[in-house]
Amino acid sequence: MIGALNLERPSGERFRDAEIMAMETLAGQVATALDNAHLYARSRQTVRELSDSLAQLRLAQAQLIQSAKLAAVGQLAAGVAHEINNPLTTIAGLSELMLPDLPEAGGLRDDMALILRETQRARSVVRRLLDFSRHPEPHRDLTDLNALVHDTVLLIYHAAIARNIYIAEAYAEDLPPTQLDANRMKQVALNLLNNAVQAIARGGHIYVDTGRSRRDAAPGVWLRVRDTGCGISPENMERIFEPFFTTKSPNEGTGLGLSVSYGIVQDHGGIIEVESIINQGSTFTVWLPVAGRG
Ligand SMILES: Nc1ncnc2c1ncn2[C@@H]1O[C@H](COP(=O)(O)OP(=O)(O)O)[C@@H](O)[C@H]1O
Ligand SMILES: [Mg+2]
């Protein structure tokens, strides 16, 4: 039963048989119509739920593919880095030994100094790559994220001012101390800040702030670096966390900053998110879980 129909005559007279029959037919039709309307609403709801879960499934799949791809590329790169590290060590060591014995005249010593510098540069890239892939046992202490970020801002402050970039810092006062590998997390902050500086060609702003928020009910803290720089195109957006992906000249970028940062944040159980509008700027947010109620 989906409802009841109550009919009365104002005069109180009884309905005739034919009238009752007509009413019964009508009631049947109304009932069918109501039933159909309910069914329709329910099927619309089901369709909506299905398309929601389909969208969630697609998102989860895309994230899975992305992290599997990063892991594979990371392993490959780590293998290559190991192979390259040894010969580079030999070249750097021998150049250093030979340098003082070379004659100043004729430029030989300068050439050797250049070989040494370039080899050291290559080694530092390789070392960073190994750091990224090794996932060393994290060394964590209760850390004040605000102080860590501010210390890192100081490192790039002068480079920024020299490029007409102004940095505004806004730190949340109620931030709980967080279990962090401070050195590695500094590296994350430095990478994000360097990228922000490099994204701004002719003057601009970098906004650095921190706060606390929950994700899936887990308490955490976040660090955000926003710049008014060149922004990231949608095609590049899919690749920025890949090792060696860079849009910069070899002097400016190695393409390792974000992939290393991604690994570090992941080791902390956190998440890096990016939003960007081309020619307007980018926002990188790092969220990190904190123990307890936060
Ligand atoms: N704040 C930013 N604004 C614009 N582009 C960015 C920003 N951060 C990262 N990118 C893009 O992501 C690429 C990869 O960044 P990263 O891994 O730090 O390597 P690198 O800085 O050495 O190029 C950069 O080359 C750049 O194209
Ligand atoms: Mg970088």
Report DSSP letters for 123-175, one per residue: HHHHHHHHHHHH-PPP--EEE-HHHHHHHHHHHHHHHHHHTTEEEEEE--TTP
Lowest mean pLDDT among 28-42, 75-89, 123-137: 123-137
Residue 235: name the closest of 251, 220, 225, 247 by CA.
247
Cα of 282 from ligand 1 centre, angstroms: 10
CA–CA distance, 293 with 34 (Å, rounded to integer)? 50
Q: What is the pLDDT of residue 67?
A: 75
What is the pLDDT averaged over residues 24-34? 91
Secondary structure string (H, E, C) spanning 176-225: CCEEECHHHHHHHHHHHHHHHHHHCCCCEEEEEEEEEEEECCEEEEEEEE
Ligand 1 pocket test target in 194, 240, 262 with most atoms within 8 Å of CB: 240
**CB of 193 shorter than 6 A to ligand 1:** no
Which ligand approaches the C-alpha of residue 228 most closely? 1
What is the CB neighbour count within 10 angstroms for residue 80?
A: 12
Which atom from ligand 1 is nearest to the alpha carbon of 247? 25
pLDDT digit string (tens) for 165-210?
999 999 999 999 999 999 889 989 999 999 999 999 889 999 999 9
Residue 293 has pLDDT above 60, yes or no: no
Beta bridge partners of 54: none
145: confidence class by pLDDT, cuts 50, 70, 90: very high
* Ligand 1 contact via 77 beta carbon (within 6 Å): no
**Helices (runs of H) and strands (runs of E) counted in the chain:** 6, 7
30: nearest Cα among 1, 10, 50:
1
Q: Which residue has the higher pLDDT, 271 or 86?
A: 271
What is the model's pLDDT at position 246?
A: 93
Residue 62: per-residue pLDDT? 78
| Chain mean pLDDT for the chain | 89
Q: What is the pLDDT of residue 51?
A: 92
Distance from Cα 192 to the centre of ligand 2, integer Å = 7
Residue having the nearest C-alpha atom to atom 11 of ligand 1: 240
Give the pLDDT confidence score for residue 116 in this predicted structure: 94
d(CA 260, CA 85) in angstroms, rounded, equals: 18
The pLDDT of residue 250: 81
What's the rounded mean pLDDT across residues 133-145? 77
Distance CA 243, CA 27 (A): 70
- Nearest ligand 1 atom to the CA of 191 is 18
- Average pLDDT on 108-112 reads 92
Quickly list DSSP for 89-128: HHHHHHHHHHGGGS-SGGGHHHHHHHHHHHHHHHHHHHHH
Q: What are phi and psi of 168, to 5 degrees?
A: -110, 125
Atom 8 of ligand 1, nearest CA residue: 195
Does 39 score more than 70 pLDDT? yes
Closest atom of ligand 1 to CA, residue 231: 4
Residue 130 burial (CB < 10 Å; 0-12/13-18/19+)? middle
Q: Is the CB of 187 under 6 A from ligand 1?
A: no
Any atom of ligand 1 within 6 Å of the Cβ of 245 = yes
Ligand 1 site, residue 230, Cβ cutoff 6 A: yes
Global confidence as pTM: 0.64
Q: Is the pLDDT of residue 227 over 90?
A: yes
Q: How confident is the model at residue 218 (pLDDT cuts 50, 70, 90)?
A: very high
Ligand at minimal distance from the CA of 225 is: 1
| pLDDT tops 70 at residue 96 | yes
Nearest CA to ligand 1 atom 12: 240
Dist. CA 246 → ligand 2 center (Å):
8
User: Of all atoms in ligand 1, which is nearest to the CA of residue 229?
Assistant: 3
What tens digit of pLDDT does each residue of 230-275 get?
999 999 999 999 888 999 988 788 888 998 899 889 989 999 999 9
Percent of the chain with pLDDT over 90: 60
